[in-house]
């Protein structure tokens, strides 16, 4: 993971990998005719074993299967709800894809509501489809997000915050009153706190965090908390 | 691309925070975001930003035939372009309602208040006058395009230099900058606009709304004023009614802000003029050069 090669669109990427294992290339990379790997956007080359991809400050979300996203309900029809998840097209969510939903017993979703859902189909030629249940038919946290506040960040930051090794939210939450947070892979974050001030604090803290490296996190949190107590 | 819809949670939160006198960027309700004016090396070009809203302006001059109704007046054209570079829902080519409104307001505030002395742009009455054109491009949109664009026009026009022209008999000669120093345009005053956003039927008010606040607001009041407290524009849009006292209060706030802004713009202009006078040789560099440097 420590490689820090900066790639620009069209750059040829030289990939050193262990022999014998299959090479997997992820977002931002493409194999061209001459069997060379070419980058398609600007970013940092990252690798994990034999998996390579480019990390950039992209903001446009491209739906992909089994990712958890936050969407905004845009229109309702008899069977489905159209949802904006930040992709080029609206996603559709069936009224039956909620816990305990039947044809008679529809969940209560208003236009403008926020929904935390899982992407069921994320195909480049098809409308994305969402569900609010897991494989066992349980909600397990998915569904309508009531109250709180939602804001947008870049996709890379969302992935960083969601990765298990990231300590930022864990450390931050030890020092401030409890709050609820949901991070969507589409770069949307929903937070619910007990006061407006805390929400604004978290909103600014997360936005500023996008420019802070992993090793500076501890110092950054210290400064944030000092700033917060001064503000209060 | 279509615009990202507004969620109920965002709307509710903005209103709730305003009840506590809070805004998402921790500004007080009467504060304007930081304004930065960046003059480029060519005359009449600048990039102005209010917070993260950024607009570039470029002035150009042409010699044209004047309008028949006003044979001894030059022509001032202001053209604000909302391109997808600024926000995903801005489209190229066709003008949106927002685009029309903004262009109209700029025209109202600057052209109709006679910001530029267009009679001095006349070369020969009824035949040849200068046409001053200001092209504005929204580089990034985070609310309050109007105030930003308005400052950009004022700065760019004050920064611009017009080639000198001499008329002898039928001959009109335009001098190159090497032959004779170009002359500044004559501005009469500085009409600066200030936008107020109202929420909850005028119960809450904020100055310089951000993108989210613009989406949540019930209505908007735009006041254009110069530092002599002369009102040049006033427009109330949205579906909301205001009391007389509220408008009076907004006018007072505007007067206060306009005094400070005028001073700030003047200062920035003086700074760049002295810089340019010291270094006349930079005249040839273009917008692209400047962009690659910064």
pLDDT, average across residues B175-202: 92
Q: How far is A132 from chain B (nearest CA, A)?
A: 18
Nearest to B13 among A86, A145, A199 (CB): A199
Best mutation target among B1, B7, B142 (most A Cβ atoms within 10 Å) is B7
User: B18: nearest CA in chain A?
Assistant: A196
| DSSP structure class, residue A1 | -
ipTM of the complex: 0.88
**Closest-CA residue to B147 (of B54, B81, B76, B272):** B54
Alpha-carbon distance values, B138 to B82, B152, B235 (Å) = 6, 11, 22
Task: Compute CA A167 distance to the chain's CA centroid, rounded to the nearest angstrom.
Answer: 17
B248, with CB counted inside 10 A (0-12, 13-18, 19+), is exposed
Contact A84 B4 (CB under 8 A): yes
CB atoms within 10 A of CB A120: 18
What's residue B158's pLDDT?
94
Highest mean pLDDT among A6-10, A179-183, B87-91: A179-183
Confidence of residue A97 (pLDDT cuts 50, 70, 90): very high
Do B53 and B142 meet the contact criterion of CB atoms below 8 Å apart?
A: yes
What's residue B51's pLDDT?
93
Characterise B45 by phi-psi region: left (phi > 0), alpha (psi -120 to 50), beta (else): beta
| DSSP structure class, residue B31 | P
- How far is it, in rounded angstroms, from Cα A16 to Cα A51? 11
Chain A residues whose CB is inside 8 A of the B12 CB are 147
User: A115: nearest CA in chain B?
Assistant: B7
Domain spans of chain B, in order of start: 10-276
Structural domains of chain A in order of their starting residue, each with its CATH number: 2-55 (2.40.50.100), 68-145 (2.40.50.140), 149-231 (3.30.1370.10)
DSSP string, A151-216: EE--HHHHHHHHSTT--HHHHHHHHS---EEEE-TTSEEEEE-SSHHHHHHHHHHHHHHTT--GGG
What's residue B246's pLDDT?
93
- List, in order, residues 6 or more apart from B25 with CB less than 8 Å away: A204, B33, B51, B210
Confidence of residue B2 (pLDDT cuts 50, 70, 90): confident
Q: Is the pLDDT of residue A220 over 50?
A: yes
Which residue has 């010291």 as its token pair? Answer: B278
Contact B4 A113 (CB under 8 A): no
Do B182 and B139 meet the contact criterion of CB atoms below 8 Å apart?
A: no
Q: Is the pLDDT of residue A1 over 50?
A: no
Best mutation target among B13, B23, B216 (most A Cβ atoms within 10 Å) is B13
- List, in order, residues 6 or more apart from A179 with CB less than 8 Å away: A173, A191, A192, A193, A194, A198, A202
A-B CB pairs within 8 A amount to: 53
The H-or-E segment that residue A16 falls in is none
Please tell me whether residue B218 adopts helix, strand or coil conformation: coil
CB atoms within 10 A of CB A49: 10
Characterise B170 by phi-psi region: left (phi > 0), alpha (psi -120 to 50), beta (else): alpha
- Collect all residues from A whose CB is shorter than 8 A from any CB in B: 72, 74, 84, 86, 88, 110, 112-114, 145, 147-152, 190, 196-197, 199-200, 203-204, 231
What's residue A112's pLDDT?
94
- How far is it, in rounded angstroms, from Cα B101 to Cα B93? 16
User: A71: nearest CA in chain B?
Assistant: B7
Q: What is the pLDDT of residues B33-55, one digit of tens each?
A: 999 999 998 889 999 999 999 99
**Closest-CA residue to B132 (of B231, B222, B43):** B43
End-to-end alpha carbon distance in chain A: 40
- How far is it, in rounded angstroms, from Cα B64 to Cα B176? 18
Contact A196 B8 (CB under 8 A): no
Q: In the predicted model, what is the mean pLDDT of chain B?
A: 90
- How far is it, in rounded angstroms, from Cα A218 to Cα A8? 31
End-to-end alpha carbon distance in chain B: 30
Do A198 and A191 meet the contact criterion of CB atoms below 8 Å apart?
A: no
Output the pTM of the full model: 0.88
User: A195: nearest CA in chain B?
Assistant: B17
**Closest-CA residue to A109 (of A69, A146, A68):** A146
Confidence of residue B278 (pLDDT cuts 50, 70, 90): low
Whether domain B10-276 has CATH 2.40.50.140: no
- List, in order, residues 6 or more apart from B217 with CB less than 8 Å away: B197, B198, B199, B209, B238
Confidence of residue A25 (pLDDT cuts 50, 70, 90): confident
Q: How far is B142 from chain A (nearest CA, A)?
A: 13
Contact B8 A114 (CB under 8 A): yes
Query: Which phi and psi angles does A43 have, rounded to 5°?
Result: 175, -170
Chain A residues whose CB is inside 8 A of the B4 CB are 72, 84, 86, 152
Please tell me whether residue B13 adopts helix, strand or coil conformation: helix
Q: What is the pLDDT of residues B152-161, one digit of tens each?
A: 999 999 999 9
Q: What is the pLDDT of residues A99-158, one digit of tens each?
A: 999 989 999 999 999 999 999 998 888 999 999 999 888 998 999 999 999 999 999 899
pLDDT, average across residues A213-225: 90
Q: Is the pLDDT of residue B86 over 60?
A: yes
pLDDT, average across residues B217-236: 94
**Closest-CA residue to B115 (of B197, B280, B261, B226):** B226
């Amino acid at each position: 993971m420590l490689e820090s090669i900066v790639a620009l669109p069209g750059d040829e990427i030289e990939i050193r990998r262990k022999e014998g294992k299959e090479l997997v290339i992820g977002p931002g990379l493409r194999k061209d005719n001459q069997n060379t790997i070419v980058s398609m956007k600007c970013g940092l080359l990252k690798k994990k074993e034999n998996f390579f991809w480019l990390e950039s400050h992209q903001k446009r979300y491209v739906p992909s299967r089994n990712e958890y996203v936050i969407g905004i309900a845009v229109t309702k029809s008899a069977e489905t709800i159209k949802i904006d998840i930040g992709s080029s097209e609206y996603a559709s969510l069936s009224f039956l894809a909620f816990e305990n939903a039947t044809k008679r017993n529809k969940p209560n979703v208003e236009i403008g509501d926020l929904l935390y859902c899982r992407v069921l189909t994320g195909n480049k030629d098809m409308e994305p489809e969402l569900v609010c249940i897991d494989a066992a038919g349980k909600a397990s946290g998915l569904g309508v997000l009531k109250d709180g506040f939602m804001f947008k960040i870049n996709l890379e930051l969302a992935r960083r915050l969601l990765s298990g090794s990231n300590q930022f939210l864990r450390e931050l939450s030890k020092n401030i009153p409890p709050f609820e947070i949901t991070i969507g892979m589409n770069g949307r974050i929903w937070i619910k706190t007990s006061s407006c001030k805390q929400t604004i604090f978290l909103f600014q803290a997360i936005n500023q965090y996008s420019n802070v490296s992993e090793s500076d996190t501890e110092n950054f949190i210290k400064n944030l908390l000092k700033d917060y107590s001064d503000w209060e | 691309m279509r615009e990202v819809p507004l969620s109920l949670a965002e709307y509710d939160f903005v209103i709730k925070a305003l009840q506590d006198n809070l805004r998402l960027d921790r500004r007080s309700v009467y504060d304007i975001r930081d304004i930065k004016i960046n003059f480029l090396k060519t005359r009449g070009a600048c990039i102005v930003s209010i917070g993260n809203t950024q607009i570039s302006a470029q002035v150009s001059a042409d010699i044209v035939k004047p309008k028949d109704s006003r044979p001894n007046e030059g022509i001032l054209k202001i053209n604000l372009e909302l391109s997808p570079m600024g926000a995903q829902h801005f489209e190229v080519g066709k003008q949106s309602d927002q685009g029309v409104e903004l262009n109209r307001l700029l025209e109202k505030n600057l052209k109709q208040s006679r910001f530029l002395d267009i009679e001095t742009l006349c070369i020969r009455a009824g035949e040849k006058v200068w046409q001053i054109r200001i092209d504005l491009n929204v580089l990034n949109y985070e609310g309050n395009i109007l105030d930003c664009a308005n400052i950009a026009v004022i700065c760019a026009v004050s920064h611009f230099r017009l080639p000198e022209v001499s008329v002898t008999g039928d001959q009109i000669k335009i001098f190159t900058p090497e032959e004779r120093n170009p002359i500044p345009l004559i501005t009469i005053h500085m009409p600066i606009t200030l936008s107020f956003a109202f929420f909850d039927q005028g119960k809450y008010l904020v100055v310089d709304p951000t993108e989210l606040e613009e989406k949540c607001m019930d209505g908007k009041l735009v006041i254009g004023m110069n530092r002599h407290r002369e009102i040049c524009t006033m427009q109330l849009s949205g579906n909301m009614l205001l009391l007389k006292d509220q408008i009076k209060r907004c006018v007072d706030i505007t007067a206060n802000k306009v005094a400070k802004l005028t001073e700030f713009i003047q200062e920035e202009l003086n700074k760049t003029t002295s810089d340019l006078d010291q270094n006349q040789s930079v005249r040839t560099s273009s917008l692209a050069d400047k962009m690659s440097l910064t």
